[in-house]
Structure 1
């Protein structure tokens, strides 16, 4: 864990709102996987390739990547091309494995890694200039050519929330458990 514990009481205004929105999104994602075995976390329950452990792993990797982007810009991004067809096969396999629990990986370790990445994002949020603008890499899924740090944080929140919804569907398909309702 990071030595710097950030809470919404140590931040104010916009930073406190961003922190709380991200904390809430992370809470629901982690809540969805509580009480699962490693086997359950690795199990596909829908036609999708997604698994609960794979989602935790993916959200962790994506949040870590966007942390680097906020600081280093476009150069920090693993891809910079028109689409995934430009990726070397080993890079594509690494990307796909980001969504899969590998043999020997545990849900507990994935959650610990996620907590460490979240702690680093929170520390960054506490001090980074939200108005810093970075050029985005070339990709068909970006409408804009650049994002501010603020917009990048909003993207992390949106991505976490979207995948939390995916996780809820997968969990309900697994054992009937619902995060809400």
Structure 2
């Protein structure tokens, strides 16, 4: 395996890890819970999946001349503000998650077809050409963006039902039952209050 192949392999591995985490965070939840907004800005699990689907399609589809059906991104002017960050009642969960899987298969084919130094071009304003980006840079960006949003999904899922962790059975959480975690949270809260009092005092 060449260095270039190894770099590509590592980037795809970390991207796939985040993709899998997204879909796992939906497991066992009903329609309301996968859609309910749990932050003041409306962050919700299914909306996050919809958003990363659009991002992959934009960067690893459109930018490399391989468009694929996906939700438009509001930030690119292809949808109303925040339309890619929530799901309407008429958008079935299975359709959104199925499209995500189809887009990531399409993205993987793009990565397979091009070298890391291949250049894609983002669309510019008013139909003109936007910035040119190498496949390597696009993959780094997508790994960072997808992992960032997977972190959002971690927090949202924990707020819904307390489920936490990087992946099923990974052992990345400290061992403890509900009482242990309650005690831990109280300890952290106590430390925060004491630090706040010292700073104010």
Fold-level similarity (TM above 0.5): yes
Pair 1:151 & 2:112 matched: no
The TM-score normalised by the length of structure 2 is: 0.67
1:18 paired residue among 11, 15, 20: 11
> What SS is found at the alignment partner of 2:8?
helix
For the aligned residues, what is the CA RMSD? 2.8
Q: CA deviation at 1:120?
A: 0.6
1:161 paired residue among 132, 147, 150: 147
Is there any run of 5+ residues in structure 1 with no aligned partner, and where? 1-10, 140-144
Give the corresponding residue for 1:72: 65
Structure with more relative contact order (C-alpha pairs < 8 Å, separation 6 or more): 1
Whole-Å Cα distance in 2 between the matches of residues 120 and 51 of structure 1?
25
Give the corresponding residue for 2:87: 101
Give the corresponding residue for 1:118: 104
> What SS is found at the alignment partner of 1:147?
strand
1:175 paired residue among 150, 158, 161: 161
Larger radius of gyration: 2
Does the aligned pair in 2 maintain the 1:38–1:106 contact within 8 Å?
no
Is there any run of 5+ residues in structure 2 with no aligned partner, and where? 67-71, 126-130, 167-172, 174-201
Pair 1:41 & 2:34 matched: yes
The TM-score normalised by the length of structure 1 is: 0.74
